[in-house]
Chains A and B, each alone.
Chain A
Amino acid sequence: MRMQNTKHHNNKIIYLIFGSILLGSFLLSFLVGSYDLSLNNLLHLLWEGTSGSYSGESSSAATIIFEVRMPRILAAMGIGAALSIAGTSYQSIFRNPMASPDLLGASAGAGFGAALGLLFNFNMMEIQLMAFIAGMAAVLITYLIGNFINSGSSTIALILTGIVVSTLFQAFISIIKYTADPDGKLPDIVFWLMGGLNNITYSDLDFFFIMFCIGAIPLFLLRWRLNALMFGSEEALALGVNATMLQLITIICATILTASSVAIAGIIGWVGLVIPHLARLLSGADNRIVLINSCILGAAFLLLADDAARSIVASEIPISIITSIIGAPFFILMLYSFRGRLS
């Protein structure tokens, strides 16, 4: 059938392009850094995997690839994908292109939870849990107050409430910083909050990827149904969707994704706002496609942002600085393109 074929055909091309971009950034990211690697050498070592035994030159190259750069690359891809999926999902259920983990307060909330975990020397699992609980609390507060102020689904009320809730949780974070030991804990918390992938280990990743799957798989399976929520919960009900349940599942899953990212890499802003929007620009708003596209695009984006973070100047700059520099002007552009349609 024509209707099906043309659409599937276009999507395949888009997936192919995005997939190539991701593969390209993946390989490129191994080559960025002070240790010089040739592409040939890299491909060879990646092909051999960790199983090969290396000597001399290739042994140190293998260490760089598998011990230093690989965890960081996997983390960048996972976090980029997680934040983008979260952003896409939040935007669909709040019917709001401006919703994102940052603007709804999820990031700040998760940041507070994780900072608290760091302060008390919790292990990774506990930190993840703290981040999730506080992130969830922040999103629910935003949602409830936003609804209370304006029971329709006004964009402005939700976003302004999100900003207020974010500020509140930022203040809680400041309290933690204030109480933290300035010689030990404080620098840890501060550097972690700025967002960075430099200290990520394989054991952090294990836990992150479990959380990633718990959050992402339901959203992937339910992604077509999210389209119905874009018309509001009454229309979704009329279409046969249990709207409240779907909203709740989506909020929980998206917040798990946000919280698990924040717990290992700090608050990395803008990704969850910019990437879903970019994906929609390229392939329309159908979540069957957008969720996959924003996942791939988000992974590639954060990889490249991290490459920039570790190569622009001699010492590393926090990755959230890079994403903000790209995200802020993008947000202004978005505001401009939605002018007159915000309330």
Chain B
Amino acid sequence: MNFTVTSGEVISLLGPNGVGKTTLLRTIMGFLKPLNGIVSLDDRNILSLPRKYIASRIGYVPQINQHSFSLSVEDVIILGRLSHLGIFAHPGYKDMQIAEETLKVLNIESLRHKIFNNLSGGEQQIVMIARALVQKPMFLIMDEPTSNLDFGNQIRILKIIKHLAKCGISVLFTTHLPDQAFLCEVKVILFYKNAEPEIGKAADVLTEHNLQRAYGAAIKVITQKNDDGSILKTCVPMMGE
């Protein structure tokens, strides 16, 4: 498999549990050494680049995990400035301003002084996105940004992703919901358990046949006509016999 992410492109990684989506993201981030092949950033092998440089180009939004300390939201997102500051430096006025702008863009200014651990899952996810954006990256890598979120929050995250793409930031995200790929009209990489993944437009890759092959369950792709005449596709898993 070979793929390139260019500016403003959104790519959704789909596939069954345990197929290696998260592993791929972690390899791209340089947390893991690739088993074979290379990951390159700006035409250079990512393993040869300093962490600070990578962080100034790629923002990483991990799956939310609880930690035991009560940092405030502003303490969390200002950490995004680490990659832009010297080793002993602390964030200054300019960094605070970038953090403030990001809070405004994501519409979470009201959370600023709240304790991160006390936020809802949706809010925590948006704060993690804010932290990555404060890094001022060109790429954003998100590990299941919508898992554990309700419909309202899922849409909120997808809207943010679309908005970022419009601003020229490329986004690579994993998800368990093919519907989201249809909604955002993105490029898709569909992983199979024992075969080469398929890359292409959502409409081309996410066929009933391919989805059944990937997830091992019968899946219907239903075409729905919206009130404004646009076509929306959605996937429904079937119980079968």
The answer to whether B52 touches A240 (Cβ under 8 A) is yes
Residues of chain B with a CB closer than 8 A to A230's CB: 67, 69, 71
Contacts A238-B29, A238-B60 hold; do A227 and B68 have CB atoms under 8 A apart? no
Give 22 pairs: A residue, B residue, CB < 8 Å, sorted on A.
A1-B93, A3-B74, A4-B96, A92-B69, A96-B68, A97-B69, A221-B88, A222-B87, A227-B71, A227-B79, A231-B62, A237-B29, A237-B31, A238-B29, A239-B80, A239-B82, A239-B131, A240-B51, A240-B56, A240-B82, A242-B51, A284-B72
* Measured CA separation A91–B70 after assembly (Å): 13
* Measured CA separation A227–B74 after assembly (Å): 12
B47 CB-CB contact with A under 8 Å: no
* Measured CA separation A284–B75 after assembly (Å): 10
Pick from B59, B62, B74, B87: contact of A234, CB under 8 Å: B62
A185 CB-CB contact with B under 8 Å: no
Interface centre among A155, A221, A231 (most CB of B within 10 A): A231
Pick from B68, B97, B115, B131: contact of A1, CB under 8 Å: B97
A48 CB-CB contact with B under 8 Å: no
B160 CB-CB contact with A under 8 Å: no
Residues of chain A having any CB pair with chain B under 8 Å? 1, 3-4, 7, 91-92, 95-97, 155, 221-222, 224-225, 227-228, 230-232, 234-235, 237-242, 280, 284-286, 288, 338, 341
Residues of chain A with a CB closer than 8 A to B97's CB: 1
Residues of chain A with a CB closer than 8 A to B198's CB: none
Number of interface residues of B (CB under 8 A): 41
List the B residue with the shortest CB-CB distance to A239: B82
List the B residue with the shortest CB-CB distance to A245: B51
Residues of chain B with a CB closer than 8 A to A341's CB: 66, 68
Residues of chain A with a CB closer than 8 A to B53's CB: 240
List 8 additional contacts besides A237-B31, A238-B29; criterion CB under 8 Å: A1-B93, A3-B100, A91-B69, A230-B71, A234-B62, A235-B62, A239-B82, A286-B71
Measured between C-beta atoms, what is the minimum distance from B141 to chain A in Å? 8
The answer to whether B31 touches A234 (Cβ under 8 A) is yes
Interface centre among B88, B93, B135 (most CB of A within 10 A): B88
List the A residue with the shortest CB-CB distance to B62: A235
List the B residue with the shortest CB-CB distance to A94: B68
* Measured CA separation A228–B31 after assembly (Å): 16
Residues of chain A with a CB closer than 8 A to B96's CB: 1, 3-4
The answer to whether A228 touches B79 (Cβ under 8 A) is yes
Measured between C-beta atoms, what is the minimum distance from B74 to chain A in Å? 6
Within 8 A of A (CB), among B108-134: 112, 115, 131
1/0 contact trace for B125-155 toward A, CB 8 Å?
0000001000100000000000000000000
